[in-house]
Amino acid sequence: MPEAISFPEKEEKILKFWKKNKIFEKSIEQRSENNPASFYDGPPFVTGVPHYGHLLGSIAKDIIPRYLAMKGKRVRRVWGWDCHGLPIENKVEQKLGLKDRRDIEKIGLLKFINECKDYVSQTSAEWNWYIDRIGRWVDMDNAYKTMDLTYMESVIWVFKKLYDQDLIYKGMRISLFCPRCSTPISNFEIAMDNSYQDREDTAVTLKFKIINQEFLNKYKLKKPCYLLAWTTTPWSCVSVMGLAVGEGFNYQIIETDEECYLIAKNAVEKTMTDLEYKIIGDLTGKEIAGLSYEHLFDYYNSQFTGFKTYSTSYVSQEEGTGIVTINGAFGDVDMDSSKKYNLPIIVNVDEEGKFTPEVKVCPGIYVKDAQKLIIDDLKERNLLFKEEKIIHSYPFCYRCETPLIYRAQDSWFISIEKLRQKLLDKNQDVHWVPKHFKEGRFSEGIKTAPDWCISRTRYWATAMPVWECQQCENREVFGSIADIEKRSGQKVKDLHRPFIDEIVFKCLKCDNEMKRVKEVLDCWLDSGSMPYAERHYPFENKEDFEKSFPADYISEYTGQVRAWFYVLHVLGVALFDSNCFKNVVVSGVIMGTDGRKMSKSFHNYPDPKGVLEKYGGDALRLYLMGSPTMSGQDMNISEEGIKEQVKKINLIYWNCYNYFKTFADFNAFDFKKELITSVDNLLDLWILSRANRFLKDFASYMDNYHIPESVRLVPEFLDDLSRWYIRRSRDRLRAGDKKALSTLYRVLILFTKTAAPLIPFLTEEIYKSLSDDKESVHLEDWPEFLEKLINSDLEEKMAIVRSISTQALAERAKMGIKIRQPLSELKIKDERIRHDQDFLNLIKEEVNVKEVIFDDNLKEELWLNPEIDKKLKQEGLLRELIRNIQQMRKLADLKPGDKITIGYSASEDDELAIEKDRPVILKETFAKSLEAVAKNSSGFDCQKEMDFDKGKLWLGIKKV
């Protein structure tokens, strides 16, 4: 085999063959429409070029559909692009030099929307190159886009269906909010790529002056007494409407020289550090509930005067003072408490994260910037007890990396609470790989998920199909373009803003104007609607959709467990009372070579394009699919690991094929006419057993979506084939033994078909050379294993033979005796193959010994006799001579059938030894003549000098 074989070059030729002959299309069309297998592909954003994460996902999405297609399934595979949402808006803002929403509104919504359309219409051609080079079959020419009118119509149908089921409501809820993007962010968007970062922040302990005179008198408090409350968001203290204490906690009144404080007993020591104090009272949480206090700011005193403490169950003693603030506008639990105790919810932060005008200490200032002004003001008025720095995990916007805030907003939600139990129940019908995700991250996420905020106060997205009367608040929701047109009498050309905003009509109740609400839909509703919207269901393709739902298979990385997998599941259960997918494979995250996130600035990953051009798509497929990441674990990328696949799989597979082809051609073996299926040779029987077991196990793993386990079978089998079967069958294969050649052919064809979904390029190359049954190996049916050929006893005994041989060869190495030097005997203890002469003969051949003797009295497992007599030495010299001539044939680039003449120059004694073995030398080296000549004689194609028995031996060979 040529050393410089280029697998990437072969792959490029195969790609041309596939495209020219439409092999992908034929692989779908040849299967019955009545036997479909469905696969959902989460659409990537139209931004940038693919990275290893995309390639990992795409390869996983290719292997299973290829496998299912070979098993007779019709597997439709259509690419999709995620076109909406912040990722696209941010790219367009950067292009136009826009900083925030005000800049967008300055240039005009129409211009901005048109720019977004232009951006997503210019999808990178590089995606096609990468997808082709990894060997993925998918229809990119007819890709759907979430911005397509038909797609968006199905999305509004989803909204209307959920609304009609009373699963969508509008209300004031706490959501993560991005001040820069001016929109709420879903909790799962942040969890998806772990958008939490460790961040240094300021925590403060605030002083709320107790004004309850009865309490002050009871404990004879002459000094001012303060409730000490701890918070990590000092800016939010402006609108605190209550304080929460732990109902089961113990509290103490602490007296210092100037003031008194009320805090949890467990917090006294850490809070009063460096202060002299004494304890003057003990109370319970219930006893201090209802205490009145003076607000830190008087901005809202006219609206509310009952500032009090409330006994709750959620206050922690692990950090802080055992007293926390209640601010219904900026916290989930706070809002619940505010509603429970009828406290006002004051939203004094606008959609840019800036304080509204009534906050006189910092009006119009971004909350994080305003924090210092607020703290300085509190210090000046002696209302700050302590300021400290803390490190905590904080959420950032997944697109613009701005720190998020929790903020109350009037938004639209899908009620997860109403669906929660059904979501958990339907998850039981899903097969998860790895299985721990089922009851772990996915189920736990469902159990704690808040209601899904599906509205966004942005622009580039599917418009929310809701119109409200400007006078009487009458509301109408539409689920199709036809319904909107019928109600309004106007043509709907686009479901994007500002076009859809132009459609107005009269209210049926009060005759005033009805306008569409300002919100657009979360782009995750787009991607979650993919099973329906991609087919424009229910307006078209109803039968096709019903055949394909739920999906047989989906696959994405761990970040999608609480993102795309979650939204698919929510919508599937809500709309059809069904899980949306039957089988799901979760992959891990690919990190840089140094364990950090892959980044161009870190130079910590090999360029994906360079890797594909250097090693090929098959190598990358093998590396990624057999890696820990396909078991849901994270891993560091390794170029050496990719290179290793070429060495241990591609090259070995190619060498096995090449060895067969060489000697089949040399012996004019016609495998169509001369193929023999009945075999009796031990090695033939063994490799057929191993091949059928390999097929059986590979299919079993694939049927259960255990991709890495199936991949790991490949090098094990190729090792058996190349290093044992072919090596131990060389003489038979070279001699043209038709049973040996037939067996090797059958095994190569079986392996080629089995590995085709995993190694699509190289299997195609080899299949085209070995078979013309089909135009492509990928048009073949999946091979059936033959149980009758699987012989466990034979495999077990062969494993014993190989183990004994390996140990004996290790002993040879310790003794420094070359393998070509025969030895007289090997003694072994293992009785399991004592009476199997064929197995013993294999050990003799492999270890190069004359006898294998069983000895129960051995102290070790085996013993090798190192003594070499004259006869053994002569035989060893012969083998060494033949090996050197064979190497010279390779150096001269001779083919196996090429005849040669051999010239040699040696001492008189060595010449006698060589002439004695002349017949063997001529036969083994395909030589016509062997002649003694003068050293360094001319006219030879290759020559060399080597050590022999009595001195130096000069050799020369020439092709006849």
Q: Kindly list the catalytic residues.
A: 43, 82, 524, 560, 564, 597, 600
Residue whose C-alpha is closest to residue 649's, from 579, 715, 734: 715
Burial of 604 (0-12, 13-18, 19+ CB in 10 A): middle
Sheet architecture: strand order including 242-246: 309-312, 242-246, 323-326
Helix (H) or strand (E) holding 563: none
The residues pairing with 201 across neighbouring beta strands, listed in sequence order, are: 390
Terminal CA-CA length for the chain: 22
Q: What are phi and psi of 535, to 5 degrees?
A: -105, 5
Which amino acid is it at 319? E
Question: How far is it, in rounded angstroms, from Cα 449 to Cα 426?
Answer: 16
Residue whose C-alpha is closest to residue 799's, from 833, 850, 763, 755: 833
What token pair was written down for 12? 């490029």
Question: How far is it, in rounded angstroms, from Cα 453 to Cα 699?
Answer: 43
Helices (H), 462-519: 481-488
Question: How far is it, in rounded angstroms, from Cα 478 to Cα 467?
Answer: 9
CB atoms within 10 A of CB 530: 26
Burial of 294 (0-12, 13-18, 19+ CB in 10 A): middle
| Helix, coil or strand: residue 374 | helix
- Quick one: CA dihedral 845, 848, 851, 857, positive or negative? negative
DSSP state of 724: I
Largest CA distance in the chain: 125
| Helix, coil or strand: residue 524 | helix
Where would I find the beta strands (DSSP E) of 425-558?
Answer: 431-433, 452-453, 455-456, 466-469, 475-477, 505-506, 513-516, 520-521, 554-557
What token pair was written down for 807? 């140990």
Q: Please provide the DSSP assignment of 881-908 as one string.
A: HHHHHHHHHHHTT--TT--EEEEEE--H
What token pair was written down for 717? 């089998």
Question: How far is it, in rounded angstroms, from Cα 567 to Cα 130?
Answer: 28
What token pair was written down for 911? 């010449």
What token pair was written down for 885? 């001539």
Question: How far is it, in rounded angstroms, from Cα 747 to Cα 745?
Answer: 5
Contacts of 905 (CB under 8 A, 6+ apart): 932, 933, 934, 935, 937, 953, 954
The residues pairing with 412 across neighbouring beta strands, listed in sequence order, are: 170
Buried b (16+ CB within 10 A) or exposed e, 452-481: bbbbbbbbbbbbbbbbbbeeeeeebbbbbb
Please answer whether residues 753 and 780 qualify as being in contact, where contact means their C-beta atoms are separated by less than 8 angstroms: yes
Helix axis angle, 738-755 relative to 707-719, nearest 10°? 160
Please answer whether residues 474 and 509 qualify as being in contact, where contact means their C-beta atoms are separated by less than 8 angstroms: yes
Helix axis angle, 870-891 relative to 908-916, nearest 10°? 80
- CA atoms in the 13 A half-sphere facing the CB of 753: 25
